[in-house]
Each structure stands twice: as C-alpha cells, then as structure tokens.
C-alpha cells in the first residue's frame, strides 16, 4: 500500500503538478490564439512574442517596484506588475493593428497573407523584446517560493517520496481559473462578448445587425494581449523568463489550440492540458515509479524514459500532425485551418 | 409616392456589366410586394439594389420620401429597413435568443417587448430560445432569420426567397406569418421562386426578365393575366 502511495506521490511531484501548471499556461496562451483566429481569421504567429513583450514590460516594472521597496510578500511582486505588463502588450497589439493589420483588412487580404504578416510582426516583436530587456534568463519568483517542500511533506506524511507545491504553481492555476471564467462570462453574457461571437459566426450578418467591426477587432486584440501577458508572466514565475523560450512555446500553444478545435475557447483550455500532460508524461523517466508498482526483479534497468526532455517539442509536433491528419477540426469541432 | 421605392435603377456588381436596366420596384405602407421572374432575371439583384448592396449607375431609392441612394446597407438598417438574406441568415453558433438580441444590437432601449412580439409571432422560437440556431430545422431557421430582422422594429422588411428549401407546409405557414407581419403596418418586399403562391398573397407583383420590368400589376391581376400564366406560372 505504501508502495502505491509512494508511486503516486512521485508521479504527482514530477508529472501531475508540473503538467497542471504548464497546462494552465498553455491554455491561456491557446485561448488568445483561438480568439484571434475566430474573429480575425488567421493563426497569429506573433502570439508567443506578444507574451514575451508583455512579460518583459512586467519585469521592468517588477524591478522598479523592488527598487522602491514595494512588496506583497508572500506573493510574488509579479502579480502587482502584471496589470502594467498587460497595458504594455495591449498598446503594442493595438498599435500593430493600426499600423499593419488594418491595412491588410482593408485590402481584404487572404488569411494566408495575414499569417505571413504575423510572422513578420513576430520577428519585430522578437527584436523589440530583446532591445527592451536583453536575451538573458531572468528569475522573477520572489516572495515565498514554496507552499510546502519535499522535506516538509515527507516529515508530515512519513512517506519515502515527497511532494513539493510551489507558490507559482498554485498562483498559476488559481489565476487561470479566474481568468478563463471571466473570459467565458464575457463571451457568453455581455452584449459586447455576444457581438464578438456573432461577428466570428457570420461577419456579413453582424454588419447588417449594426455590429461595429472595428470595435470587435479592437476588443479581440485587447483580450488576446491581456491573455498573452498573463500566460507569459505565469510561465515566467513558474520557470523563468527568457525571450527565446517564449518564441519556442508558440508550438505547444498552436498545438493546444488546434487539438481542442481552433476557434473554440473551451477546446483551447482542454487542448492546453492535453499537450502539457502529453509533453510531461512522454519525457518523464518512469524507473522510480515502476520500482514501487512492479514486483521486485521486474524493474527494468534503464530509465524508462520515452523521450529525452530535449525532445519535448517533438511531442507537441507529433500530436499536431496526428490531429491535422485524423481530425483536422480538433476535439471540439473547431474550424479547419 | 410609394413608401419605399427604387426608381429606374441601373447598375451591376463592381463596375461589371449592368444587371439591372431601368428597373423600378416600389412598395406601399402595410402592403406586400413580390418580385418574381425566371432564374437569372435579376430578382435578388433588384432587392440588393434597393438595400444598397449594389452600386447604382442611375436611378434612386427613396424611403418615406427621403432619398437614401447614398446610404450604406448598415445606415439603411438604422433608417428603418430590415433585410433577411437568402443564405447564412442566422448566427448558427448563437442561441435563438442571442440571435434576436444581436438583431437589436443598434437599439439602446428595452428590447424585451419586441422579443415577446417575435415569440408570439413564432411560438416555436420561444420554446427553442436557448438552442443554437444551427440546430434548428430549415423552416425554424427562417423564422429566426425573419425574427432577427424584426428586432430593429423596421418599417420595411425585405425577404430574399424566404421559402427556399422548406417544405410546402412550412412555406404556407411562413406566408401566413408574413401576412400577419404586413397587417401590423410593415411594408414587405420579397423575392420568391414560388411565384404562384407568392403572387397569391401579394398586393403588388413585379415580373422581371433580364433585369427589366416585364409586368407590373396587383398580384391578383398578374395571376389572371394569360400571358404571365403561360410564360411564368406554367399555364
């Protein structure tokens, strides 16, 4: 019995808890991608770098707050700086729309043109973030680091294996739940939210109904930029902030949005967790786990790791390819890209 | 002068060849006007021209004595025109109630009385108010589409083939409702494939051929006209 408990705790510590936090971050990112897709009808490659930019702005403000001696310990200062990061990303997104995307909207360009434009925007954001804050790895998880540590858990339960719960993981999940609930409430219950769904559903009929397309587009950018920054700051809290990582995270975010069914907000959330659990589960070494659940002598000598962690993006990529081949509309029947 | 009139309309899509040639369509207050004619006669185009979706090279459109030729379709909605397109005329992912709400998007006042009116006109919609419009049958969808257009409390309702693809029973039912709507004082302008049934309920009928007015008379007179019967109503 204790063997199974130990096995479970081990799995919880290295797979379930980290994957849940990572899943929440991907879900928020994918929600932004899916919103842009359903209203503006293109896959926004610049989303990862919007995350990076918003987070960079937040970090600059964190430093300022720290210099002023402002602190909300035991919570990380990042939570206080988050709204400023969001404002920064919103300004960037609206500015980009005005200078770049609006031009192509007026030309009534094909979606693929928008995708290519967003790749260009991605490179510009990339450079902007590096100008702003550099390329280095930054840690922003000040405040209390752990809710409880492995040692505390072991002492409390007497188990051989321990489980640590980091503050950032709890904050990530709590913030994600609040933010997604707010977004769903906004889309389902408010007049503006409904007009966004109507515009996404049938653009011509929305125009006939007097819905202002410019306003819908603006609100979509604001929502997406806010979601991107929240996802970015949470990811930075949980791991660390490095602009390049935020560029890479675009792949699992796209995979999450597509697995769930692009254009389906609920699918983006589900997809985020599916991708996160798949990545973590495929790259975890199960030797210790098997040591508890298998009879003695059955435990294989190797690490029992399906893929090295360096290949974790391959997992998202394979899932992405399989979904596009087998069920291009995703789990919740979104649109076909 | 008619309540809504498109007079001597000439024009085509995006600078292409003219589709309408000196075409005139008008409807009086509280009456039903129907545009019929063979395929490709420019019926829908004539209606779109009245609604501002087709650039006119010549002619003008007036609503209640006011020249609205220069207004965009959106502004014409604000001026009191409701338009039900032939296809994709509902928000399929939105519930019936949300469809009606979006129909009334430009209104700032309380829309509940209007929504109740729509529900009393189409009782089935009240039952299905929480269901996505995409899950309804063809006839019910048309009711949602008409209901959505009624939500702005228009003075004129324009319907582009409202009975396309619905069964004859549903068609009769829809025509009955359209008569009910006209009795409340709205003017109705519609394009119809089912010429005989449509002319039956029409106060005024327009038979278009090749984008030109061929016959214009009351619905009754057109149904009685031997030439119209022979050419367009199948004897």
Question: For position A204, which CATH number holds?
Answer: 1.10.3470
Contact A210 B78 (CB under 8 A): yes
A2-14 per-position pLDDT tens digit = 888 999 999 999 9
Average pLDDT, chain B: 92
* A39 interfaces chain B, CB cutoff of 8 Å: no
pLDDT for A186: 96
Is residue A136 domain-resident? yes
pLDDT per position as a tens digit, A30-85: 999 999 999 999 999 999 999 999 999 999 999 999 999 998 888 999 999 999 99
Q: Average of pLDDT values for B104-131? A: 94
Instruction: State the DSSP code for A12.
Output: I
Higher pLDDT, B1 or A163: A163
Residue in chain A lying closest to B148 (CA):
A209
For B54-89, how does the pLDDT look when each residue is reduced to its tens digit (9 = 90+)?
889 999 999 999 999 999 999 999 999 999 999 899
Please tell me the distance from the alpha carbon of residue A1 to that of residue A160, in angstroms, as a whole number: 13
- Number of folded domains that form chain A: 1
Determine the average pLDDT of the residues in B131-152.
94
Residue B189: strand, helix, or coil: strand
Q: Stretch A152-163: mean pLDDT, rounded?
A: 91
Quote the minimal CA–CA distance from A267 to chain B in Å: 15
Could you tell me if A335 lies within 8 Å of chain B, comparing CB atoms? no
Q: In chain B, which residue's Cα lies nearest the Cα of A209?
A: B103
Over residues A210-220, mean pLDDT? 94
Percent of chain B with pLDDT over 90: 80
Within a domain: A331: no
Q: Write down the mean pLDDT value for chain A.
A: 93
Domain presence at residue A336? no
Contacts of A326 (CB under 8 A, 6+ apart): none
The residue among A243, A277, A330 whose CA lies nearest residue A37 is A330
pTM over 0.80: yes
Chain B CB within 8 Å of residue A207 CB: yes
For the sheet with B66-67, list strands across it.
Answer: B20-27, B4-11, B58-63, B66-67
Q: Residue B39 pLDDT more than 80?
A: yes
Tokens of A101: 């995307």
A196 contact residues in B (CB cutoff 8 A): none
The nearest CA of chain B is from the CA of A220 a distance in Å of 18
Kindly report, residue by residue over A249-284, the tens digit of the pLDDT: 999 999 999 999 988 899 999 999 999 999 999 999
How confident is the model over A306-331, as a mean pLDDT? 90
Nearest-5° angle of CA A337, CA A318, CA A38?
A: 25
Which pLDDT belongs to residue A43? 94
Is the residue at A333 inside a domain?
Answer: no
Chain A contact set for B94 (CB, 8 A): 194, 197-198, 201
Place of tokens 């228009």: B154
pLDDT band at A336 (very low <50, low <70, confident <90, very high): low
Q: How far is B28 from chain A (nearest CA, A)?
A: 23
pLDDT at residue A337, as a whole number? 54
Average pLDDT over residues B29-37: 93
Q: At what angle do helices A47-68 and A17-40 cross, to 10 degrees?
A: 120
- State how far residue B148 is from chain A, nearest Cα, in angstroms: 9
Where are chain B's structural domains?
A: 1-80+156-162+186-235
From the CA atom positions of chain B, what is the Rg in Å? Answer: 17
Q: What pLDDT sits at residue B100?
A: 96
pLDDT over 70 (residue A134): yes
Domain of residue A209: give its range: 2-326
- Distance between CA atoms of residues B113 and B129, nearest Å: 15
What is the band of B235 on the pLDDT scale with cuts at 50, 70, 90? low
For residue A30, the model assigns a pLDDT of 97
CATH H superfamily, domain B1-80+156-162+186-235: P-loop containing nucleotide triphosphate hydrolases (3.40.50.300)
Residue A143 has which token pair? 């405040």
């Amino acid at each position: 019995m204790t063997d199974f408990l130990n096995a479970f705790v081990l799995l919880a510590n290295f797979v379930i808890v980290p994957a849940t936090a990572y899943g929440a971050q991907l879900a928020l990112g994918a929600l932004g991608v899916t919103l842009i897709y359903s209203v503006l009808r293109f896959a926004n490659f610049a989303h990862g770098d919007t995350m990076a930019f918003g987070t960079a702005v937040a970090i600059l403000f964190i430093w300022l707050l720290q210099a002023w001696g402002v602190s909300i310990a035991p919570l990380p200062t990042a939570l206080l700086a988050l709204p400023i990061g969001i404002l920064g990303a919103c300004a960037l997104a609206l500015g980009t729309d005005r200078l770049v995307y609006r031009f192509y909207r007026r030309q009534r360009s094909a979606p693929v043109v928008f995708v290519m434009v967003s790749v260009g925007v991605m490179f510009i954001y990339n450079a902007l973030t590096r100008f702003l804050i550099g390329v280095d790895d930054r840690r922003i998880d000040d405040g209390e680091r752990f809710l409880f540590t492995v040692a505390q858990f072991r002492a409390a339960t007497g188990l051989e294996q321990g489980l640590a719960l980091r503050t950032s993981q709890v904050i990530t999940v709590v913030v994600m739940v609040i933010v997604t609930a707010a977004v769903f409430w906004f889309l389902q219950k408010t007049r503006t939210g409904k007009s966004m769904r109507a515009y996404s559903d049938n653009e011509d009929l929305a125009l006939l109904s007097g819905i202002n397309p410019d306003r819908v587009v603006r609100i979509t950018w604001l929502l997406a930029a806010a979601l991107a920054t929240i996802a970015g700051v949470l990811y930075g809290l949980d791991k660390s902030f490095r602009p390049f990582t935020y560029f890479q995270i675009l792949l699992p975010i796209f995979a999450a949005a597509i697995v769930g069914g692009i254009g389906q907000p609920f699918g983006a959330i589900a997809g985020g967790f599916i991708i996160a659990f798949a990545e973590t589960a495929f790259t975890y070494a199960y030797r210790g786990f098997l040591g508890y659940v298998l009879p003695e002598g059955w435990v294989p000598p190797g690490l029992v790791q399906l893929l090295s962690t360096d290949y974790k993006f391959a997992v998202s990529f394979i899932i992405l390819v399989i979904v596009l081949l087998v069920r291009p509309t995703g789990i919740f029947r979104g649109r076909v890209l | 002068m008619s309540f809504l009139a498109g007079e001597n309309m000439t024009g085509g899509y995006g600078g292409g060849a003219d589709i309408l040639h000196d075409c005139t369509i008008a409807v009086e207050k509280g009456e039903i006007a129907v545009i019929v004619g063979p395929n490709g006669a420019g019926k829908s185009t004539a209606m779109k021209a009245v609604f501002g979706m087709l650039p006119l090279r010549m002619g003008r459109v007036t609503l209640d004595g006011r020249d609205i030729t220069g207004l965009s379709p959106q502004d014409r909605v604000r001026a009191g025109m409701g338009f039900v397109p032939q296809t994709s005329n509902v928000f399929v992912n939105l519930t019936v109630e949300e469809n009606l709400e979006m129909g009334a998007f430009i209104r700032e006042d309380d829309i509940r009385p209007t929504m109740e009116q729509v529900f009393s006109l189409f009782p089935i919609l009240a039952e299905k108010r929480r269901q996505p419009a995409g899950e309804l049958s063809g006839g019910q969808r048309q009711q949602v589409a008409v209901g959505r257009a009624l939500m702005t409390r228009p003075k004129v309702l324009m319907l582009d083939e409202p009975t396309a693809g619905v069964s004859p029973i549903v068609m009769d039912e829809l025509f009955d409702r359209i008569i009910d709507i006209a009795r409340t004082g709205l003017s109705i302008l519609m394009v119809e494939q089912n010429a005989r049934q449509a002319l039956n309920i029409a106060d005024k009928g327009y038979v278009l051929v090749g984008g030109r007015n061929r016959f214009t008379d009351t619905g009754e007179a057109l149904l009685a006209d031997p030439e119209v019967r022979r050419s367009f109503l199948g004897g």
